[in-house]
Each structure stands twice: as structure tokens, then as C-alpha cells.
């Protein structure tokens, strides 16, 4: 299991890194298109917004797999060994429940928007494709009990 999670972590790092670089190029292109080419780009603006939603959700699932989300860790610091163990398991269990919620609810949202056939205004990307980030992130969050140390 650890090896599977490790493979996911490596690929998520690659994907989110690529998203970040693409977003950066989109933003630089925006400024360049407006001032040098004198024609503001609506394509890169919409693309950037879609990629940001993907970056935020997939990056967050990476943070779950690396166990780096911010929490109030007073009990974890000050509690007895038994309390610490309980706190660790409880927070992992809650993260798992949340991941399951994203996986199930995300899938139904994808199915609904697919049926409605909604697309984004400029690039005509189906909204269902944008929402796919939710169940994917949910799946990874469900694996957070097997997290690596980041």
C-alpha cells in the first residue's frame, strides 16, 4: 500500500507542478498579449481559472497524502500517549470520511452536469470535466491514512 501511495504522491507532485508552471505561463501571456499584441486574451483567462480549480483540489489532496494540512495540534503536543494515538486516528478517520464525501458527492455532481451538458463560455470545456477534480481528489484524500511524511 505504501508503494502505491508513494507512486500517487510522485505523480501528483508532477501534475500539480505542471499545472503551476502552465498557470504561470498563462498569466505572463495575459500581460504580453495586452501590451505587446494589443489584444487581451480571454482564452488564457478562462483556462487559468479552470486550472486553478484543479490545482487547488489536487494540490490539497497531495497535502493530505503528505499529512501537511493545518490543524490545531494542542492535544497532539500535550496529550498522554494514549490521547495522542486517539487524536491521530480520529483525525485520519475524519479525513477519510471527508474524502468519501468528495468521492461520492463529486461523482454525482459530475454525472448531473454531464447530463445537463453545460460548457464553459469561451473554451466550451464541459463543466463535468472541471468537476472531475472533486472525485479524484476525494479518492486521494481517502488514502490519507496511508500518508507519507512530507
Partner 1 sequence: MQLAVIGILTVTFSVLLFFGVPISVAIALSSFCALLPLYDPLMASEVIAQKTLTSLDNFGFLAIPFFILAGQIMNAGGIARRLIDLAKVIAGPIPGALAYCNVVANFLFGAVSGSAVSSAAAVGSAMAPIQKKEGYDPAFTAAVNIASSVSGLLTPPSGALILYALISGGTSVIALFVAGYIPAALMSLSIVAVIAIKGKDMPRGSRDLWRAPHVVKTLIDALPSLALIVLIMGGLIAGIFTPTEASSISVLYSLVLAFAYRELKLRQLPTLVKNSVVTASIVLFMVGTSSAMSWVFSIAEIPTYVTQAMLSVTDSPWGILLLMNLVLLVMGTFMDLTPAILIFTPIFYPVAVKIGVHPVHFGIIMVFNNCIGILTPPVGSSLFVGSGVSGVSLERIMPKLMPMFYAECVALALVTFIPGLSLWLPRVFGLV
- Residue numbers at the binding site for partner 1 (CB under 8 A): 13, 16-17, 19-21, 23-24, 27-28, 30-31, 35, 45, 48-50, 52-53, 55-60, 62-64, 66, 68-76, 87-88, 90-91, 94-95, 97-98, 101-102, 104-106, 108-109, 130-131, 133-134, 150
State which residue, 4 or 94, has the beta carbon closest to partner 1.
94
Q: How far is the CB of 10 from partner 1 (least distance, A)?
A: 11
Residue 64 and residue 141: Cα distance in Å, rounded?
Answer: 6
Q: Name the nearest CA neighbour of 124 among 52, 43, 12.
A: 43
CA distance 25 to 18: 11
**Number of helical (H) and strand (E) elements in the chain, helices listed first:** 6, 0
CB of 1 to partner 1, least distance (A): 21
Confirm if 33 and 44 have CB atoms less than 8 A apart: yes
CB of 108 to partner 1, least distance (A): 6
Nearest to 22 by CA among 34, 30, 63: 30
Q: 102 or 143, CB closer to partner 1?
A: 102
Q: To the nearest whole angstrom, how small is the minimum distance from the Cβ of residue 86 to partner 1?
A: 8
Amino acid at each position: 500500500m505504501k508503494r502505491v501511495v508513494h507512486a500517487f504522491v510522485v505523480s501528483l507532485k508532477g501534475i500539480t507542478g505542471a499545472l503551476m508552471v502552465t498557470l504561470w505561463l498563462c498569466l505572463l501571456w495575459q500581460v504580453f498579449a495586452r501590451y505587446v499584441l494589443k489584444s487581451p486574451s480571454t482564452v488564457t483567462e478562462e483556462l487559468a481559472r479552470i486550472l486553478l480549480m484543479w490545482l487547488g483540489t489536487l494540490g490539497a489532496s497531495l497535502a493530505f497524502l503528505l499529512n501537511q494540512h493545518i490543524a490545531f495540534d494542542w492535544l497532539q503536543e500535550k496529550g498522554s500517549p494514549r490521547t495522542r494515538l486517539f487524536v491521530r486516528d480520529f483525525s485520519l478517520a475524519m479525513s477519510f470520511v471527508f474524502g468519501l464525501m468528495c468521492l461520492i458527492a463529486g461523482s454525482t455532481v459530475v454525472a448531473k452536469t454531464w447530463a445537463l451538458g453545460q460548457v464553459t463560455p469561451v473554451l466550451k470545456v464541459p463543466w463535468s470535466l472541471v468537476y472531475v477534480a472533486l472525485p479524484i481528489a476525494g479518492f486521494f484524500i481517502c488514502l490519507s491514512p496511508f500518508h507519507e511524511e512530507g
